[in-house]
Chains A and B, each alone.
Chain A
């Protein structure tokens, strides 16, 4: 018999402790009687410590000692197997989607990798431990650490590689930490190591189970709609990873709901046609009517199925309504010209973005004293409604203005380059005119000249929470409106506002990209992401961000049971589609010395463990039954005889 944890034998000290307890304090079965006074002159048993009598070898004592012995042997990891050791094997599994490529025999690298892991499980035996690590940008454990073979088998069965192309370096680092000094590391992929970040060290094995295959995949997709012609289009970029042209069947279908196509048929299929795919990269453009629901474009099957189809959602343009309230003059004309050059912008009132003369705002105190913004306007068109961003030009309101006279600046200008409003803005050669001094702390400056703020943001208040930009600028005299910075500035402002409009930032994503969806108000019910059978909860905030999950498809954003948005998520991974780099080879070998360093393990799956556990449990149960107070009267009633 050997012991995996000899220190556990210290638990044997429990046996003398039990004996001492029985010596000093006996726990007798309870017997209800009548006439206790007749017994009281008998030999009373001291409660403890006063006298040590001869140890009564009761069944209870023997059972307790037996239970303590069994527990001590369990804790010490007793085993009958001589020199038993348990090898710890860490397996890094390449989780990239190319592992699912099917060769001519109908096998995939995944299947070969799973078979290899099963062989390793059999080799290390029932006492061996295995840790399965799934590679990726954020590698994760799918079994273990130090799991038994049965657990690893079930995790392997559920493992399906879906990730985009990635380096195995992060997974290697995690696997090496898990292997430590005693574990062996096996890397299973369908390709070779890159030899740099993925370089293996002695004692590790890189086993590639891939087979070079030709493949055709969709590597990029774009869906657009022309607002003027009401005509949409689906553009596909197809890559033929071989040296020979190929023919494929392109099929475009509506996803999720029936659609009445242009030909009048109420079929979900929009288009089926044969396409010639030359070697290399080619494009396919498919016209679609505007307002066509999400469509699925697929090529006929080949080695890698996952890159043969994309789901594309028609983008819904985010229109920014601009309310131009500037006074007539050079400034207003320049603004109209700059806005006219922008797509997705329409005039509107109250709109999303209002351009105002600061003089129209009677008092800047509307922000500082909490008064209703509506009361601060003297314009004829009424005040901007809540939710309207403001860009104010000209002389600041009296409460914002400080003492002094306006000045002109020709530079140098200090710009807050990180602010999206000033991205691409240089103000080179600009004469910034009519700069009034501002009271300290009135604005948060984004651009400054000398000691004066040229552009600033007003701090939001409880009654005016929407952003307000103050341009401390006389539009009539400045040359900013003729400089290249003017349209950039206006475009940045409009795009900032556009990004804050409700809806998805984009409508089609690649797997792994961040999806951002803004809601017009706090969602009243829980948000869910549903994509086929995949479903997960989303944070219930106005701005929802999540990583587009694999394997992609039509993702529905639900608020409770109500569909709010649909977005398309697609693999579109140019690197993973190239199966020509797949290899079958094995590099490296395990370190025998390391494998012999067994990790500490318990006695699970060891028959002796279960035997000891059964003995311990039985002993404790019998002892409890023996000492159970309910048992005593029942036994006594049977022993009583009758005699008159």
Chain B
């Protein structure tokens, strides 16, 4: 992705290009929440910030996040600080890819740890208990909710880890079902 384009996405998320992966995620969740509905910061502007404009901003935020996510997977080293400070900045040495073939509990934990995100932060972001997140990572299938609920939770978790939500849910639920049916 050209630098100018990358910079534009960071601008939309109101971040410096030196922002860490966690900053990107935090900004995304925060802005999404802000523009998804009427909020204290928006209400006073009323007609001057019409619904149409709000939805446009929301789309831009979604788009910027998705693009940065894609850029992360295809082009950039999978380290905590994902983007070079300057276009000419050296790329960090290649690390082994963090995307495992199957998203098991331990694989999800590995991705999370490599991204430098604490369970606590994820818990705050997606409003799931730390205990539940731990059980997912440790594959304590008996302690996990029904597949219907779990699917949504896994998707949220995958979003935080910049992973494909459908793939994560599919992989994990497969293991979950296999174990349950034993």
Please say whether chains A and B are actual partners in one complex: no
